[in-house]
Amino acid sequence: MRESPSEYPIGWCGHQPIGYLKYILIVEVTYAPKSYHYVSCSLLSADGRSAPIVNKRPRLFYGWYIVGSSVAMNFYLSVAFFQGFQVFFLPILREFGWSRTLTSSAFSLRQLESGLLAPVVGFLVDRLSPRVVILLGAIISGAGLVLMSYVTSLWTFYVALLITSVGTSGASHGVSWAVVVSNWFNRLRGRALGIAMLGPVFSGPLVILVVLLEESLGWRGAVRLLGIGVWIFGVPLALVARDRPERYGNVPDGEAVGDCERIGTDGGTPKGATPNTVLSGLTANQAIRTRDFWALSILLGAPFMGVSGLFVHLIPLLEDGGYTTREAAGFLGLIFLLSGIGRVGAGILADLVDRRLVLAATLLLPALGLMLLPGSGPSEYSRVGIFALFLGIGWGGLMTFRPFLVMQLFGSRALGSVQGMVQGVALGLGLAGPVFYGWVFDVQKSYDAALYVSIATMLAVIPLVFSLSTPRMAALRITQEG
Protein backbone atom coordinates (compact mmCIF):
# COMPACT_ATOMS: atom_id res chain seq x y z
CA MET A 1 0.00 0.00 0.00
CA ARG A 2 1.54 3.33 -1.10
CA GLU A 3 1.48 6.29 1.31
CA SER A 4 -0.07 9.42 -0.18
CA PRO A 5 1.42 12.77 0.93
CA SER A 6 -2.05 14.33 0.83
CA GLU A 7 -3.68 11.85 3.22
CA TYR A 8 -3.42 10.99 6.91
CA PRO A 9 -2.62 7.36 7.88
CA ILE A 10 -5.29 5.99 10.23
CA GLY A 11 -3.20 3.11 11.62
CA TRP A 12 -0.12 0.96 11.12
CA CYS A 13 0.66 -2.72 10.74
CA GLY A 14 4.37 -2.95 11.38
CA HIS A 15 5.83 -0.24 9.14
CA GLN A 16 2.93 -0.23 6.68
CA PRO A 17 -0.15 2.06 6.99
CA ILE A 18 -3.48 0.25 6.93
CA GLY A 19 -5.51 3.16 5.53
CA TYR A 20 -5.73 6.90 5.02
CA LEU A 21 -7.98 9.85 5.83
CA LYS A 22 -8.05 12.74 3.41
CA TYR A 23 -9.16 15.24 6.09
CA ILE A 24 -9.15 15.48 9.88
CA LEU A 25 -11.59 17.47 12.00
CA ILE A 26 -10.11 20.25 14.11
CA VAL A 27 -12.24 21.42 17.05
CA GLU A 28 -11.24 24.46 19.07
CA VAL A 29 -12.86 25.32 22.38
CA THR A 30 -12.03 28.69 23.90
CA TYR A 31 -13.14 29.88 27.33
CA ALA A 32 -14.40 33.43 27.40
CA PRO A 33 -15.75 35.78 30.10
CA LYS A 34 -19.33 35.58 31.40
CA SER A 35 -19.26 31.78 31.33
CA TYR A 36 -19.55 31.37 27.60
CA HIS A 37 -17.64 28.93 25.45
CA TYR A 38 -16.65 29.57 21.86
CA VAL A 39 -16.62 26.40 19.79
CA SER A 40 -15.30 26.35 16.23
CA CYS A 41 -14.94 23.40 13.88
CA SER A 42 -13.06 23.02 10.62
CA LEU A 43 -11.61 20.33 8.38
CA LEU A 44 -7.87 20.37 7.80
CA SER A 45 -6.30 18.51 4.88
CA ALA A 46 -2.87 16.87 4.97
CA ASP A 47 -1.32 19.72 3.02
CA GLY A 48 -2.51 22.28 5.58
CA ARG A 49 -5.47 23.67 3.67
CA SER A 50 -8.88 23.95 5.33
CA ALA A 51 -12.01 22.54 3.76
CA PRO A 52 -15.65 23.41 4.39
CA ILE A 53 -17.83 21.16 6.52
CA VAL A 54 -20.81 19.81 4.63
CA ASN A 55 -23.50 19.61 7.27
CA LYS A 56 -26.43 17.45 6.25
CA ARG A 57 -29.30 17.86 8.66
CA PRO A 58 -32.48 15.81 8.63
CA ARG A 59 -35.61 17.63 7.59
CA LEU A 60 -37.06 17.22 11.08
CA PHE A 61 -34.82 17.42 14.14
CA TYR A 62 -35.02 14.22 16.20
CA GLY A 63 -35.85 16.23 19.31
CA TRP A 64 -39.30 16.89 17.84
CA TYR A 65 -39.91 13.12 17.58
CA ILE A 66 -39.18 12.97 21.31
CA VAL A 67 -41.61 15.83 21.91
CA GLY A 68 -44.27 14.01 19.88
CA SER A 69 -43.73 10.78 21.81
CA SER A 70 -44.06 12.65 25.10
CA VAL A 71 -47.38 14.07 23.92
CA ALA A 72 -48.65 10.65 22.83
CA MET A 73 -47.53 8.81 25.98
CA ASN A 74 -49.01 11.36 28.37
CA PHE A 75 -52.15 11.59 26.25
CA TYR A 76 -52.88 7.94 26.86
CA LEU A 77 -51.82 7.94 30.53
CA SER A 78 -54.18 10.87 31.10
CA VAL A 79 -57.08 9.10 29.42
CA ALA A 80 -56.44 5.87 31.29
CA PHE A 81 -55.43 7.14 34.73
CA PHE A 82 -54.73 10.78 35.56
CA GLN A 83 -58.08 12.10 34.29
CA GLY A 84 -60.09 9.09 33.21
CA PHE A 85 -59.84 7.24 36.50
CA GLN A 86 -62.05 9.85 38.17
CA VAL A 87 -64.93 8.43 36.13
CA PHE A 88 -64.66 5.25 38.23
CA PHE A 89 -64.76 7.10 41.57
CA LEU A 90 -68.52 6.88 42.20
CA PRO A 91 -69.02 3.40 40.64
CA ILE A 92 -66.36 2.04 43.00
CA LEU A 93 -68.01 3.79 45.96
CA ARG A 94 -71.39 2.33 45.03
CA GLU A 95 -70.04 -1.22 44.74
CA PHE A 96 -68.08 -1.28 48.00
CA GLY A 97 -69.91 1.36 50.08
CA TRP A 98 -66.73 3.13 51.19
CA SER A 99 -66.77 6.75 52.37
CA ARG A 100 -65.29 9.47 50.20
CA THR A 101 -62.60 10.09 52.81
CA LEU A 102 -61.39 6.47 52.65
CA THR A 103 -61.43 6.41 48.87
CA SER A 104 -59.74 9.80 48.61
CA SER A 105 -57.02 8.63 50.99
CA ALA A 106 -55.87 6.20 48.30
CA PHE A 107 -55.29 9.13 45.96
CA SER A 108 -53.34 10.94 48.69
CA LEU A 109 -51.19 7.85 49.18
CA ARG A 110 -50.65 7.90 45.43
CA GLN A 111 -49.41 11.49 45.72
CA LEU A 112 -47.17 10.55 48.66
CA GLU A 113 -45.71 7.62 46.77
CA SER A 114 -45.19 9.69 43.62
CA GLY A 115 -43.53 12.39 45.70
CA LEU A 116 -41.17 9.89 47.33
CA LEU A 117 -40.42 8.24 44.00
CA ALA A 118 -39.80 11.45 42.03
CA PRO A 119 -36.22 11.95 43.34
CA VAL A 120 -35.52 8.26 42.68
CA VAL A 121 -36.84 8.57 39.13
CA GLY A 122 -34.69 11.67 38.60
CA PHE A 123 -31.61 9.85 39.91
CA LEU A 124 -32.28 6.88 37.61
CA VAL A 125 -32.74 9.19 34.62
CA ASP A 126 -29.35 10.79 35.36
CA ARG A 127 -27.54 7.51 36.06
CA LEU A 128 -29.18 5.13 33.62
CA SER A 129 -31.22 5.83 30.52
CA PRO A 130 -34.47 7.80 30.21
CA ARG A 131 -35.64 5.15 27.76
CA VAL A 132 -35.26 2.39 30.35
CA VAL A 133 -37.06 4.41 33.05
CA ILE A 134 -39.96 5.28 30.74
CA LEU A 135 -40.20 1.74 29.38
CA LEU A 136 -40.34 0.14 32.82
CA GLY A 137 -42.86 2.76 33.89
CA ALA A 138 -45.18 1.89 31.01
CA ILE A 139 -45.01 -1.84 31.79
CA ILE A 140 -45.69 -1.34 35.51
CA SER A 141 -48.54 1.15 34.90
CA GLY A 142 -50.36 -1.32 32.66
CA ALA A 143 -49.93 -4.09 35.22
CA GLY A 144 -51.34 -1.87 37.98
CA LEU A 145 -54.48 -1.01 36.01
CA VAL A 146 -55.10 -4.64 35.06
CA LEU A 147 -54.70 -5.60 38.72
CA MET A 148 -57.13 -2.82 39.66
CA SER A 149 -59.89 -4.58 37.74
CA TYR A 150 -59.66 -7.56 40.15
CA VAL A 151 -59.76 -5.73 43.52
CA THR A 152 -62.10 -7.14 46.16
CA SER A 153 -61.33 -5.01 49.21
CA LEU A 154 -60.02 -1.61 50.28
CA TRP A 155 -56.45 -2.79 50.82
CA THR A 156 -56.25 -4.46 47.38
CA PHE A 157 -57.62 -1.22 45.88
CA TYR A 158 -54.82 0.70 47.63
CA VAL A 159 -52.16 -1.76 46.43
CA ALA A 160 -53.33 -1.66 42.81
CA LEU A 161 -53.47 2.14 42.83
CA LEU A 162 -49.97 2.39 44.31
CA ILE A 163 -48.53 -0.02 41.72
CA THR A 164 -50.06 2.05 38.96
CA SER A 165 -48.58 5.19 40.53
CA VAL A 166 -45.11 3.61 40.57
CA GLY A 167 -45.34 3.08 36.85
CA THR A 168 -46.74 6.48 35.97
CA SER A 169 -44.00 8.16 38.02
CA GLY A 170 -41.48 6.88 35.49
CA ALA A 171 -43.55 7.02 32.32
CA SER A 172 -45.21 10.43 32.65
CA HIS A 173 -43.82 13.86 31.85
CA GLY A 174 -43.35 14.79 35.52
CA VAL A 175 -39.62 13.97 35.48
CA SER A 176 -38.48 11.62 32.72
CA TRP A 177 -39.86 13.26 29.58
CA ALA A 178 -39.25 16.76 30.97
CA VAL A 179 -35.55 16.01 31.43
CA VAL A 180 -35.20 14.44 27.98
CA VAL A 181 -36.87 17.38 26.22
CA SER A 182 -34.82 19.92 28.21
CA ASN A 183 -31.63 18.17 27.11
CA TRP A 184 -32.59 18.21 23.44
CA PHE A 185 -33.54 21.90 23.31
CA ASN A 186 -31.90 25.13 24.39
CA ARG A 187 -33.04 28.27 22.57
CA LEU A 188 -36.46 26.67 21.96
CA ARG A 189 -36.70 24.95 25.33
CA GLY A 190 -39.72 26.84 26.65
CA ARG A 191 -41.95 26.17 23.68
CA ALA A 192 -40.67 22.58 23.29
CA LEU A 193 -41.60 21.82 26.90
CA GLY A 194 -44.96 23.50 26.41
CA ILE A 195 -45.73 21.30 23.42
CA ALA A 196 -44.33 18.16 25.06
CA MET A 197 -46.81 18.56 27.92
CA LEU A 198 -49.88 18.83 25.69
CA GLY A 199 -50.85 15.17 26.15
CA PRO A 200 -53.42 15.85 28.90
CA VAL A 201 -54.83 18.68 26.77
CA PHE A 202 -55.74 16.37 23.91
CA SER A 203 -56.95 13.66 26.27
CA GLY A 204 -59.33 15.91 28.18
CA PRO A 205 -62.19 15.77 25.69
CA LEU A 206 -61.81 11.99 25.46
CA VAL A 207 -62.64 11.46 29.14
CA ILE A 208 -66.21 11.25 27.89
CA LEU A 209 -65.18 8.06 26.04
CA VAL A 210 -64.09 6.56 29.36
CA VAL A 211 -67.60 7.31 30.63
CA LEU A 212 -69.07 5.43 27.65
CA LEU A 213 -66.58 2.59 28.19
CA GLU A 214 -67.62 2.29 31.83
CA GLU A 215 -71.31 2.33 30.91
CA SER A 216 -70.86 -0.50 28.38
CA LEU A 217 -68.26 -2.72 30.11
CA GLY A 218 -68.59 -1.75 33.75
CA TRP A 219 -65.78 -0.15 35.68
CA ARG A 220 -63.79 -3.39 35.99
CA GLY A 221 -63.84 -4.19 32.28
CA ALA A 222 -63.04 -0.59 31.37
CA VAL A 223 -60.03 -0.39 33.72
CA ARG A 224 -58.70 -3.74 32.45
CA LEU A 225 -58.93 -2.66 28.83
CA LEU A 226 -57.21 0.66 29.56
CA GLY A 227 -54.36 -1.17 31.32
CA ILE A 228 -53.74 -3.42 28.31
CA GLY A 229 -53.73 -0.31 26.16
CA VAL A 230 -50.83 1.12 28.18
CA TRP A 231 -48.72 -1.87 27.11
CA ILE A 232 -49.77 -1.63 23.48
CA PHE A 233 -49.11 2.10 23.08
CA GLY A 234 -46.62 2.88 25.85
CA VAL A 235 -43.83 0.42 25.06
CA PRO A 236 -43.16 1.60 21.46
CA LEU A 237 -43.32 5.26 22.51
CA ALA A 238 -40.80 4.69 25.29
CA LEU A 239 -38.26 3.40 22.76
CA VAL A 240 -38.19 6.81 21.02
CA ALA A 241 -36.60 8.53 24.04
CA ARG A 242 -32.88 9.38 23.90
CA ASP A 243 -30.63 10.88 26.56
CA ARG A 244 -28.67 13.75 24.98
CA PRO A 245 -28.33 14.84 21.34
CA GLU A 246 -24.51 14.86 21.36
CA ARG A 247 -24.43 11.07 21.71
CA TYR A 248 -26.22 10.79 18.38
CA GLY A 249 -24.30 13.39 16.39
CA ASN A 250 -26.70 16.27 17.07
CA VAL A 251 -26.73 19.47 19.09
CA PRO A 252 -29.71 21.02 20.94
CA ASP A 253 -32.39 22.56 18.70
CA GLY A 254 -30.90 20.73 15.70
CA GLU A 255 -28.70 23.67 14.72
CA ALA A 256 -25.83 23.19 12.28
CA VAL A 257 -22.36 22.61 13.67
CA GLY A 258 -19.34 24.26 12.10
CA ASP A 259 -19.69 27.96 12.67
CA CYS A 260 -18.40 29.74 15.73
CA GLU A 261 -20.88 29.23 18.55
CA ARG A 262 -21.30 31.19 21.75
CA ILE A 263 -22.98 29.15 24.42
CA GLY A 264 -24.37 30.32 27.78
CA THR A 265 -24.54 28.31 30.97
CA ASP A 266 -27.74 29.88 32.22
CA GLY A 267 -29.87 27.63 30.07
CA GLY A 268 -30.25 30.26 27.34
CA THR A 269 -28.42 31.11 24.16
CA PRO A 270 -27.40 34.66 23.23
CA LYS A 271 -29.11 36.23 20.28
CA GLY A 272 -27.57 35.25 17.00
CA ALA A 273 -25.78 32.20 18.36
CA THR A 274 -26.44 28.54 17.71
CA PRO A 275 -26.86 26.41 20.81
CA ASN A 276 -24.71 23.64 22.13
CA THR A 277 -24.82 21.70 25.37
CA VAL A 278 -22.30 22.63 28.04
CA LEU A 279 -22.82 20.29 30.99
CA SER A 280 -22.60 22.77 33.82
CA GLY A 281 -24.67 23.49 36.85
CA LEU A 282 -25.15 22.60 40.48
CA THR A 283 -25.05 19.12 41.90
CA ALA A 284 -28.15 17.84 43.66
CA ASN A 285 -26.52 18.50 47.06
CA GLN A 286 -25.64 22.07 46.10
CA ALA A 287 -29.11 22.76 44.72
CA ILE A 288 -30.98 21.56 47.79
CA ARG A 289 -29.00 24.01 49.95
CA THR A 290 -30.13 27.05 47.98
CA ARG A 291 -33.05 29.34 48.81
CA ASP A 292 -34.32 29.00 45.24
CA PHE A 293 -34.85 25.26 45.61
CA TRP A 294 -37.20 25.59 48.56
CA ALA A 295 -38.94 28.69 47.21
CA LEU A 296 -39.63 26.92 43.91
CA SER A 297 -40.82 23.78 45.68
CA ILE A 298 -43.30 25.77 47.80
CA LEU A 299 -44.47 27.78 44.79
CA LEU A 300 -45.28 24.58 42.92
CA GLY A 301 -46.48 22.56 45.91
CA ALA A 302 -48.84 24.99 47.63
CA PRO A 303 -51.19 25.38 44.64
CA PHE A 304 -51.03 21.63 44.09
CA MET A 305 -52.53 21.09 47.56
CA GLY A 306 -55.77 22.61 46.33
CA VAL A 307 -55.75 21.53 42.70
CA SER A 308 -54.93 17.89 43.43
CA GLY A 309 -57.93 17.64 45.73
CA LEU A 310 -60.17 19.46 43.27
CA PHE A 311 -59.24 17.22 40.35
CA VAL A 312 -60.03 14.09 42.34
CA HIS A 313 -63.40 15.46 43.50
CA LEU A 314 -64.44 17.67 40.56
CA ILE A 315 -66.79 15.16 38.93
CA PRO A 316 -68.54 14.30 42.25
CA LEU A 317 -68.63 18.04 43.09
CA LEU A 318 -70.38 18.92 39.86
CA GLU A 319 -72.69 15.91 40.10
CA ASP A 320 -73.73 17.07 43.57
CA GLY A 321 -74.46 20.47 42.00
CA GLY A 322 -76.95 18.98 39.57
CA TYR A 323 -74.80 18.16 36.54
CA THR A 324 -74.85 14.72 34.94
CA THR A 325 -71.76 12.51 34.90
CA ARG A 326 -71.25 13.25 31.21
CA GLU A 327 -71.54 17.00 31.77
CA ALA A 328 -69.11 16.87 34.70
CA ALA A 329 -66.64 14.81 32.66
CA GLY A 330 -67.05 17.32 29.84
CA PHE A 331 -66.05 20.22 32.11
CA LEU A 332 -63.05 18.25 33.35
CA GLY A 333 -62.04 17.62 29.77
CA LEU A 334 -62.51 21.31 29.00
CA ILE A 335 -60.07 22.25 31.77
CA PHE A 336 -57.37 20.08 30.28
CA LEU A 337 -58.17 21.23 26.76
CA LEU A 338 -57.83 24.88 27.79
CA SER A 339 -54.65 24.10 29.71
CA GLY A 340 -52.99 23.81 26.30
CA ILE A 341 -53.16 27.60 26.04
CA GLY A 342 -51.22 27.88 29.29
CA ARG A 343 -48.73 25.13 28.48
CA VAL A 344 -47.69 26.51 25.11
CA GLY A 345 -48.31 30.18 25.91
CA ALA A 346 -46.26 30.10 29.11
CA GLY A 347 -43.46 28.30 27.29
CA ILE A 348 -43.32 30.94 24.56
CA LEU A 349 -43.48 33.82 27.05
CA ALA A 350 -40.77 32.20 29.19
CA ASP A 351 -38.43 32.40 26.20
CA LEU A 352 -39.17 36.12 25.77
CA VAL A 353 -39.88 37.94 29.06
CA ASP A 354 -39.13 37.82 32.80
CA ARG A 355 -40.11 34.32 33.88
CA ARG A 356 -41.19 35.54 37.32
CA LEU A 357 -43.98 37.72 35.91
CA VAL A 358 -45.34 34.82 33.88
CA LEU A 359 -45.12 32.50 36.90
CA ALA A 360 -47.06 34.99 39.05
CA ALA A 361 -49.81 35.12 36.42
CA THR A 362 -50.07 31.33 36.28
CA LEU A 363 -50.59 31.28 40.06
CA LEU A 364 -53.21 34.04 40.05
CA LEU A 365 -55.45 32.62 37.32
CA PRO A 366 -56.40 29.34 39.11
CA ALA A 367 -57.30 31.30 42.26
CA LEU A 368 -59.60 33.55 40.23
CA GLY A 369 -61.19 30.51 38.62
CA LEU A 370 -61.89 28.76 41.93
CA MET A 371 -63.70 31.89 43.17
CA LEU A 372 -66.41 31.20 40.59
CA LEU A 373 -67.08 27.59 41.59
CA PRO A 374 -68.82 27.84 45.02
CA GLY A 375 -72.57 28.19 44.62
CA SER A 376 -72.63 27.48 40.90
CA GLY A 377 -75.88 25.79 39.85
CA PRO A 378 -76.71 23.24 37.15
CA SER A 379 -77.77 25.90 34.61
CA GLU A 380 -74.73 28.17 35.02
CA TYR A 381 -72.69 26.75 32.19
CA SER A 382 -70.96 30.04 31.40
CA ARG A 383 -69.82 30.48 35.00
CA VAL A 384 -68.37 26.98 35.20
CA GLY A 385 -66.87 27.49 31.74
CA ILE A 386 -64.99 30.62 32.87
CA PHE A 387 -63.78 28.66 35.91
CA ALA A 388 -62.47 25.98 33.55
CA LEU A 389 -60.76 28.63 31.39
CA PHE A 390 -58.89 30.30 34.26
CA LEU A 391 -57.94 27.05 36.00
CA GLY A 392 -56.88 25.39 32.74
CA ILE A 393 -54.62 28.22 31.53
CA GLY A 394 -53.03 28.78 34.94
CA TRP A 395 -52.46 25.12 35.76
CA GLY A 396 -51.16 24.39 32.29
CA GLY A 397 -48.61 27.19 32.62
CA LEU A 398 -47.37 25.82 35.94
CA MET A 399 -46.78 22.42 34.36
CA THR A 400 -44.50 23.95 31.73
CA PHE A 401 -42.63 26.14 34.20
CA ARG A 402 -41.51 23.35 36.51
CA PRO A 403 -38.70 21.83 34.36
CA PHE A 404 -37.97 25.16 32.68
CA LEU A 405 -37.18 26.91 35.97
CA VAL A 406 -35.21 23.95 37.30
CA MET A 407 -32.91 24.10 34.26
CA GLN A 408 -32.55 27.87 34.48
CA LEU A 409 -31.93 28.06 38.23
CA PHE A 410 -29.71 25.00 38.67
CA GLY A 411 -28.24 24.07 35.26
CA SER A 412 -28.06 20.72 33.53
CA ARG A 413 -25.45 18.77 35.53
CA ALA A 414 -28.00 17.01 37.77
CA LEU A 415 -31.18 18.04 36.00
CA GLY A 416 -32.99 14.75 36.54
CA SER A 417 -32.17 14.55 40.25
CA VAL A 418 -33.04 18.18 40.98
CA GLN A 419 -36.24 18.01 38.93
CA GLY A 420 -37.19 14.85 40.81
CA MET A 421 -36.57 16.48 44.19
CA VAL A 422 -38.61 19.58 43.32
CA GLN A 423 -41.36 17.32 42.02
CA GLY A 424 -41.15 15.23 45.18
CA VAL A 425 -41.54 18.20 47.52
CA ALA A 426 -44.43 19.60 45.45
CA LEU A 427 -46.25 16.25 45.38
CA GLY A 428 -45.59 15.78 49.08
CA LEU A 429 -47.30 19.09 49.83
CA GLY A 430 -50.15 18.16 47.51
CA LEU A 431 -50.93 14.81 49.11
CA ALA A 432 -53.21 16.44 51.70
CA GLY A 433 -55.54 17.83 49.02
CA PRO A 434 -57.71 14.79 48.16
CA VAL A 435 -58.13 13.77 51.83
CA PHE A 436 -58.91 17.36 52.86
CA TYR A 437 -61.59 17.73 50.19
CA GLY A 438 -63.12 14.37 51.13
CA TRP A 439 -63.08 15.20 54.85
CA VAL A 440 -64.69 18.61 54.30
CA PHE A 441 -67.50 17.00 52.29
CA ASP A 442 -68.09 14.22 54.82
CA VAL A 443 -68.40 16.83 57.61
CA GLN A 444 -70.24 19.65 55.83
CA LYS A 445 -71.82 17.86 52.85
CA SER A 446 -70.30 20.60 50.70
CA TYR A 447 -66.91 21.36 49.13
CA ASP A 448 -67.13 25.17 49.54
CA ALA A 449 -64.82 25.43 52.57
CA ALA A 450 -62.15 23.37 50.79
CA LEU A 451 -62.37 25.68 47.78
CA TYR A 452 -61.92 28.80 49.91
CA VAL A 453 -58.85 27.34 51.61
CA SER A 454 -57.37 26.48 48.19
CA ILE A 455 -57.92 30.05 46.96
CA ALA A 456 -56.23 31.55 50.04
CA THR A 457 -53.23 29.23 49.68
CA MET A 458 -52.67 30.15 46.02
CA LEU A 459 -52.85 33.87 46.68
CA ALA A 460 -50.55 33.66 49.72
CA VAL A 461 -47.56 32.25 47.80
CA ILE A 462 -47.56 34.72 44.89
CA PRO A 463 -45.16 37.23 46.59
CA LEU A 464 -42.65 34.39 46.93
CA VAL A 465 -42.24 34.40 43.13
CA PHE A 466 -40.14 37.56 43.28
CA SER A 467 -37.67 36.01 45.71
CA LEU A 468 -36.40 33.69 42.93
CA SER A 469 -33.04 34.56 41.42
CA THR A 470 -33.01 36.45 38.13
CA PRO A 471 -31.54 34.64 35.10
CA ARG A 472 -28.31 36.65 35.45
CA MET A 473 -27.95 35.81 39.16
CA ALA A 474 -28.69 32.14 38.49
CA ALA A 475 -26.08 32.02 35.69
CA LEU A 476 -23.49 33.60 37.99
CA ARG A 477 -24.18 31.02 40.71
CA ILE A 478 -23.97 28.17 38.23
CA THR A 479 -20.59 29.50 37.05
CA GLN A 480 -19.18 29.91 40.54
CA GLU A 481 -20.48 26.70 42.14
CA GLY A 482 -20.83 24.46 39.09
pLDDT, tens digit (0-9, with 9 covering 90-100), for 287-310: 888 888 888 888 888 888 888 888
pLDDT at residue 108, as a whole number: 64
- Which of 42-46, 136-140, 237-241, 357-361 is least confident? 42-46
pLDDT at residue 326, as a whole number: 78
- Which of 275-279, 337-341, 428-432, 475-479 is least confident? 275-279
- What is the CATH T-level fold of the domain 281-308+315-412+443-477, as seen in this structure? Growth Hormone; Chain: A; (1.20.1250)
pLDDT at residue 279, as a whole number: 52
Q: pLDDT band at 421, cuts 50/70/90?
A: confident
pLDDT at residue 115, as a whole number: 65
pLDDT at residue 31, as a whole number: 37
Q: What are the boundaries of each domain within the chain?
A: 1-54+257-279, 59-243, 281-308+315-412+443-477
Q: Which CATH architecture has domain 59-243?
A: Up-down Bundle (1.20)
Write out pLDDT tens, residues 157-212.
989 988 998 898 889 877 888 888 888 888 888 888 888 888 877 876 777 888 88
- 51 DSSP β-pair partners: 43
- 9 DSSP β-pair partners: 20
Question: CA dist 262 to 27, 248, 281, 480, 481, Å?
Answer: 14, 21, 17, 19, 21
Same fold: 59-243 with 281-308+315-412+443-477: yes
pLDDT at residue 239, as a whole number: 92
Answer yes or no: is pLDDT of 4 > 60. no
Instruction: Give the torsion sign (CA, 394, 398, 400, 404).
Output: positive
What's the longest Cα–Cα distance across the chain?
93
